[in-house]
């Protein structure tokens, strides 16, 4: 792995239920990169995130994060799942939910230390949730819940932040708040890999886009991914004017 790469996937394949969900995936992410991962439903985007996290085993190839296996690196990685994956009816406050993001580092049985509480306070401030810290998570709006998940991931102060559809179903103010936060994290050296169906937002926010359909179809800055044939291959559809317009692809 090159010295600049934080994430390194070489020939990665993943099987789910006897089906090859990913094959021959080569992907390297440098420090301070904000990358959009785009593809149709079933393309393996969430599967790829989970392979990087070590939540799914690889059937072929290798994944390294900062030179380590995902299992060895897991306690330092931030992950923002889709909102439906969190138990919002669980009786816990916003502060308590964000504190659970430290579990991989603290363990389930040890009481939080001063360092843990400082990290949680910092994460709440970054996500604009300080004033809501004592509120039960079940009382939050959709946008507030998304910010809780982001803060929970940031409580680890991770060098790598993996985000699964972070903008889905959000109002414009929340989208703008998170966009500004992701740019700030990138500028401070955090590496971000984000799956999204919002092609326009990806083109505006991400310095790099990876088109995925069970393998990497194309990889580069948005301005370089203007060939309609790339999108046809990635999405397996006929020419889509709406899709090409969203990314400024050529006529």
pLDDT tens for 67-126 read: 999 999 988 899 999 998 898 999 999 999 999 998 876 655 678 889 999 999 999 999
If one counts every other C-beta atom within 10 angstroms of the C-beta of residue 213, the result is 18
pLDDT beyond 60 at 248 = no
Average pLDDT of the residues in 211-239: 83
- Nearest CA to 77 out of 101, 59, 108, 96 is that of 101
Q: pLDDT averaged over the chain?
A: 89
Quote the pLDDT of residue 74. Answer: 85
Quote the pLDDT of residue 2. Answer: 44
CATH class of 5-84+159-246: alpha beta
Average pLDDT of the residues in 212-229: 89
Q: Which residue has the higher pLDDT, 232 or 54?
A: 54
Query: Rounded distance, CA 206 to CA 208, Å?
Result: 5
pLDDT beyond 90 at 1 = no
Quote the pLDDT of residue 4. Answer: 61
Give me the residue label for tokens 């966009």. Answer: 179
Sheet holding 160-164, edge to edge: 77-80, 160-164, 191-195, 34-38, 208-212, 216-220
Q: Which residue has the higher pLDDT, 134 or 75?
A: 134
- Nearest CA to 173 out of 128, 214, 208, 207 is that of 128
């Amino acid at each position: 792995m090159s010295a600049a790469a934080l994430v390194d996937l070489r020939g990665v394949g993943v099987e789910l239920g006897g089906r090859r969900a990913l094959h021959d995936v080569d992907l390297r992410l440098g420090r301070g990169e904000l990358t959009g991962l785009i593809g149709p439903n079933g393309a393996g985007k969430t599967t790829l995130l989970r392979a990087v996290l070590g939540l799914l085993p690889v059937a072929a190839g290798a994944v390294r994060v900062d030179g380590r296996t995902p299992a060895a690196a897991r306690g330092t990685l931030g992950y923002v799942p889709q909102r439906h994956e969190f138990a919002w009816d669980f009786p816990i406050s916003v502060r308590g939910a964000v504190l659970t993001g430290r579990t991989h580092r603290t363990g389930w049985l040890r009481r939080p230390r001063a360092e843990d509480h400082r990290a949680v306070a910092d994460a709440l401030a970054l996500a604009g949730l300080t004033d809501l810290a004592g509120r039960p998570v079940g009382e939050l709006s959709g946008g507030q819940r998304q910010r809780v998940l982001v803060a929970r991931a940031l409580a680890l102060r991770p060098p790598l932040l993996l985000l699964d559809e972070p903008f889905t179903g959000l109002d414009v103010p929340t989208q703008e708040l998170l966009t500004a936060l992701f740019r700030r994290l990138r500028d401070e050296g955090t590496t971000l890999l984000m799956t999204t169906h919002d092609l326009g937002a990806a083109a505006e926010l991400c310095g790099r886009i990876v088109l995925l359909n069970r393998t990497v179809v194309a990889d580069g800055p948005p301005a370089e991914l203007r060939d309609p044939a790339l999108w046809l291959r990635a999405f397996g559809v006929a020419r889509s004017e709406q899709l090409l317009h969203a990314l400024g692809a050529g006529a």
